[in-house]
Structure 1
């Protein structure tokens, strides 16, 4: 006879659905720079290029609680004439229960940022608007593609280290 009692909170019991809760959300770091003000606020003939970077990370706090951080960086203008530069690290504490251990990391790095992104996007847009520019509205991000790309890069790094 087998014992069905488990002490591992991350282990899925037969027939039990995974449970996810966002316990908290917060700004970890926010930086806005307008190095050419007030010249950068004058209307120009053309809109400067805007480069946007996205990064996602997760770390365990307890066996069921994880901090997921989405980092958004945006830079308007070229290297010689930056209009603004903004960086935001926005995090949430997410509780995951009754999920198979092999599903936790993909969930945290795909669904975690998807839950946090609308809030981070709004904070970034407000920071840019408060800096004197039109709000920066970032298009939705495909976190599945981002996760896959990061996994491929990690595998390539591991293969490169193994051959050295």
Structure 2
């Protein structure tokens, strides 16, 4: 994997080659990683005798935090809980992150990249980690359905605007939860 400085240097070089100045917009994933992973199989080994199909609940949350002047950490938190009549079959909690380099992009577009596009890029890798974790817990791999992060982002912006219009007050930029 490329390190943070290589990616930022590459972004610099692309901008400088384009017009001799560092004013070209650029954004990219520097690296991605599992920050935290928890797998629980609380009813083992009895759970492997259960005959009913578990109900699977998927919850996710997106966050972003500045880690430097031009680097942000985007965190995709996913919690999977599978339950059946007799109890919880398994729980998987994953915090999958990516370091994102952003340069010369307006605040509104940077926000959209951090909360919609970066999670879209990271999701397939997080999905694989979840499938492997569920399989390693002794169950068939769980392939989480794709998520329309861009659509969710737009929905949240619209909901926030409606809320602001209803209250008549000025609010800060949209929050990062999806």
Q: Give the TM-score, by structure 1 length.
A: 0.79
Figure out how many residues of one structure are paired with residues of the other and give that number. Answer: 151
Deviation at 1:109, TM superposition (A): 0.3
RMSD: 2.8
| Unmatched 5+ stretches in structure 1 | 1-8
- What is the aligned partner in structure 2 of residue 122 from structure 1? 128
Cα-to-partner distance string for 1:47-96 (whole Å, 9 max, x where unaligned)? 11100011111111122111000011111115860000110000010101
> Residue 73 and residue 79 in structure 1: after superposition, are their counterparts in 2 closer, same or farther (change >3 A)?
farther
Tell me the TM-score normalized by structure 2.
0.73
Larger relative contact order (C-alpha < 8 A, sep ≥ 6)? Answer: 1
**Aligned-partner Cα distance in 2 for 1:80–1:138:** 23
Distance change (3 Å), C-alpha of 1:48 and 1:61: same
**What is the match of residue 23 of structure 1?**
30
* 1:35 counterpart SS class: coil
Distance 1:79 1:147 in 2: 35
**Which residue of 30, 34, 45 maps to 1:38?**
45
CA deviation digits over 1:7-66, x for unaligned, max 9?
xx9xx9xx865222211211111111111001112251x311100011111111122111
User: Any stretches of 5+ residues in structure 2 without a counterpart?
Assistant: 1-11, 170-178
- 1:67 is aligned to 73
Instruction: Give runs of aligned pairs for residues 69-84 of structure 1, distance below 5 A.
Output: 69-78=75-84, 81-84=87-90
In structure 1, what is the Cα distance between the partners aligned to 2:160 and 2:94? 24
